[in-house]
């Protein structure tokens, strides 16, 4: 799942726990620690998205590799920052391409105006054959 559908909160905590391979209490702990922020319904029920499930699986992988929860939090914050910077770079690249295209159009317009401004002058040279 990608895009908006990955962030659509569908799963109650029991389903999210099963999908992530974690105990529901672990999900509550991760939420209290600020590692995951499930959507809350008007009644206060937690709803997890596929992006939340993916995040929970990443937390599990990182803890299995020996990181404590504070280390996991820092790693995930760095990953979020890298993603934000990558998105910013992509936007800047798109903006730069647009500006380059505009500059090329402006240059072509200037060059086109030269052609209409140039007037060939004919000079009469003496005829050498006379």
44 & 98 share domain: no
Co-location of 72 and 61 in the same domain = no
- Name the one residue in this structure whose structure tokens are 């809350």: 40
Domain holding 43, by residue range, is: 1-66
Bigger pLDDT: 36 or 3? 36
> Would you call 39 helix, strand, or coil by DSSP?
strand
- Indicate the helix (H) or strand (E) that contains 41: none
Same domain, 50 and 4: yes
Q: pTM, whole model, 2 decimals? A: 0.66
Lowest mean pLDDT among 88-92, 104-108, 110-114: 110-114
- Residues 62, 73 share a domain: no
Give the total number of structural domains in the chain.
Answer: 2
Please report whether residue 82 resides in a domain.
yes
Q: Could you tell me if residue 126 is inside a domain?
A: no
Position 82 pLDDT exceeds 80 = yes
Query: Is residue 112 domain-shared with residue 62, that is, in the same domain?
Result: no
103 within some domain: yes
Does 128 fall in a domain?
no
Residues 6+ apart with CB under 8 A from 51: 1, 6, 7
């Amino acid at each position: 799942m990608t895009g908006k559908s990955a962030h659509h909160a569908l799963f109650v905590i029991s389903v999210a726990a099963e999908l992530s391979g974690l105990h529901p209490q672990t999900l509550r702990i991760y939420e209290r620690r600020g590692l995951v922020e499930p959507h809350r319904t008007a009644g206060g029920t937690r709803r997890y998205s596929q992006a939340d499930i993916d995040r929970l699986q990443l937390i599990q992988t990182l803890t299995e590799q020996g990181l404590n929860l504070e280390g996991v939090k820092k790693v995930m914050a760095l990953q979020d920052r890298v993603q934000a910077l990558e998105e910013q770079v992509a936007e800047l690249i798109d903006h730069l391409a647009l500006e380059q295209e505009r500059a090329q159009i402006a240059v072509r317009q200037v060059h086109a105006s030269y052609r209409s401004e140039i007037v060939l002058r004919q000079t009469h040279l003496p005829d050498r054959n006379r």
